[in-house]
Structure 1
């Protein structure tokens, strides 16, 4: 994944230089919110709604940060369909008390608008995320050794399209391709063949006012650890100059408290997850995972959190996030095609991992 990381860093640096604010004042120039002053109202020029409501969290264009999770334990048991596997019978169940001292990792994000018109907004997105596990003692088991020695990584690209239909109705289309797994930079070929996940969303919505927009749609997502096709609800509303909500249910929901145009606090949750290819590094005869070469780790967790964001200077913002990571799924599957929706019992290993607090700090260049 080194090449993916270097590419994202290069895009981030180029975008930062091209979008850097060169004014000497701390305040951006005032924006005339009365768009009726532009153009001839009687000329029949079609007008469109915008993609934001007042006081909404600013759009992050380029940035990154670092996250650290606290210690927790892992207990693993054999899945029911694999009780008679001779390798598991020889090795036995994984230890009941394996300690993870910490999980930490870098995350980078790019959101580059390639088309920005009143009638159409198209952005290209890219991301890189990593989770590096520090075990007290992996105990020689393949999954634990892989997490300890390699960690988990995600690199992806995508696009987001906002298409207003008129002054009140709009469409949002999102598509994303991610490569997920415990890959090293020399294994990108295997990564694309074994670790690729494709997700997307479609939302049809209504903008009732400058303070309220909502929509309904459908998504293909891996946030539950495997492929899910589920309905979604978009609900962004600003009640007054201080309070509002930002909801994309069921993925995330936050209450928002605006202290000023340059500082805000969010309280809520987000579901994060994906399906990760796991290399079978225990491939010698008699080891626990020897027969399997297409292992998939189904990872899904809920982050209950508080996020404080504030402008440092002009369009450069800092984001500090702290909360509690609640594990929903961390199970190992024989192959990516074994799925039963939200409830899946066909796992090689059913891993019960502990819940833990976490903190994340990031720096971003935001949209004016």
Structure 2
């Protein structure tokens, strides 16, 4: 029993988000209603992901730095995520998480690059480390409340030339929702975030609907929409999805630069995904699809009204990623 204790502690900690998704047959006065619906997979507590985008071009225009073009061999990215509970009560749940990723860009003929922005991308990785807090407030009616807070460092924050607060970014998303029945839930809210590459405020519509135990749709608009299919034993999940990804990095073009610039990155992806159980609590996932760039500009400030220093255009490219992740074991959910 002593040998099993560390594993039980780990799986108990990973159980938070999946517990919030377990189906509740009736949202009566004696039952707390939660936002999950039948058919959703168990939530991911630990995720390690490797991603690559290959063979695409970039063209740049700037009054200050001039114009240029180049070819990229690949854009590689490592990602690590961890989530664990803080509070687990019937009337209130809270979880905390950490997310770290690092991505690098590799150009063709890198040793002959002259354009400052391209040299910066080749020589410096784009990194992000963020902390997150998730709160769920069920009620004894069919209503629930959600809140997500996130904050961290984005960009070349290892530099000693700038204070760490200049790399800090945060986001907040409050929502109010209703669970119509075991197969349908929806919510409305607002997001202060960088999903469009620049700091912005946008409405959110979340909608989960399961047509049966195998087919369903999951939406968090405008960020993501998924069509879901699972085998009867729920050991295989298949997704057809589109997603909007965005981030904002504080960067510098050279060591003598006195002020930071801001890389506004946003893109839309169209993906096919397969997730497969290896063991009860251990899974892997594979994704492949098309990435289409929306924004990859450098600006002097954050926000939609900021002046663009370098306007960049990337052509569409194929994206591939593979992940391995840990979910709560089934026996802890019974």
Specify the TM-score bucket, using the shorter chain as the normaliser.
0.7 to 0.9
Distance in 1 of aligned mates of 2:163 and 2:7 = 29
Cα distance, 1:212 vs. partner?
1.0
Pairwise CA distance, 1:220: 0.6
Residue 321 of structure 1: which of 274, 287, 298 is its match? 287
Q: For residue 231 of structure 2, give the secondary structure of its aligned residue in structure 1.
A: strand
Instruction: Verify: 1:280 aligned to 2:253, yes or no.
Output: yes
Do the aligned partners of residues 152 and 198 (structure 1) sit closer, same or farther apart at CA in structure 2, a change above 3 Å counting? same
Match of 1:18 among 9, 12, 17: 9
The residue that corresponds to 2:17 in the other structure is: none
1:293 corresponds in structure 2 to 259
Deviation at 1:192, TM superposition (A): 2.6
Q: TM-score, normalised by structure 1?
A: 0.79
CA distance in 1, matches of 2:217, 2:323: 22
- Deviation per residue, 1:290-315 (Å, 9 max, x gap): 5x612100111111111111111011
Q: Which of 98, 119, 125 matches 1:151? A: 125
Q: What TM-score, normalized by structure 2, do the two folds share?
A: 0.87
Counterpart Cα distance in 2 of 1:34 and 1:229 = 33
Cα deviation for residue 51 of structure 1 reads 3.4
2:37 partner SS? coil
Unpaired segments of 5 or more residues in structure 2?
1-5, 13-21, 330-334
Gaps of 5+ in 1: 1-14, 22-31, 37-43, 284-289
Q: What's the CA shift for 1:33?
A: 7.0
Q: Which has the higher strand share?
A: 2
Equivalent residues in 2 for 1:1-368 (5 A)?
18-20=9-11, 46-78=30-62, 83=63, 85=64, 88=65, 93-95=66-68, 97-138=69-110, 139-184=113-158, 187=160, 190=162, 192-260=164-232, 261-281=234-254, 283=256, 293-336=259-302, 339-340=304-305, 346-368=307-329
In 1, are the aligned partners of 2:157 and 2:167 still within 8 Å (CA)? Answer: no
CA spacing shift, 1:34–1:203, aligned 2, 3 Å: closer
1:287-345 Cα distance to aligned partner (Å, 9 max, x none): xxx5x612100111111111111111011111111111110000001133x533xxx6x
User: 1:191 deviation in Å?
Assistant: 6.4
Structure number with larger C-alpha Rg:
1
Q: CA RMSD in A?
A: 2.4
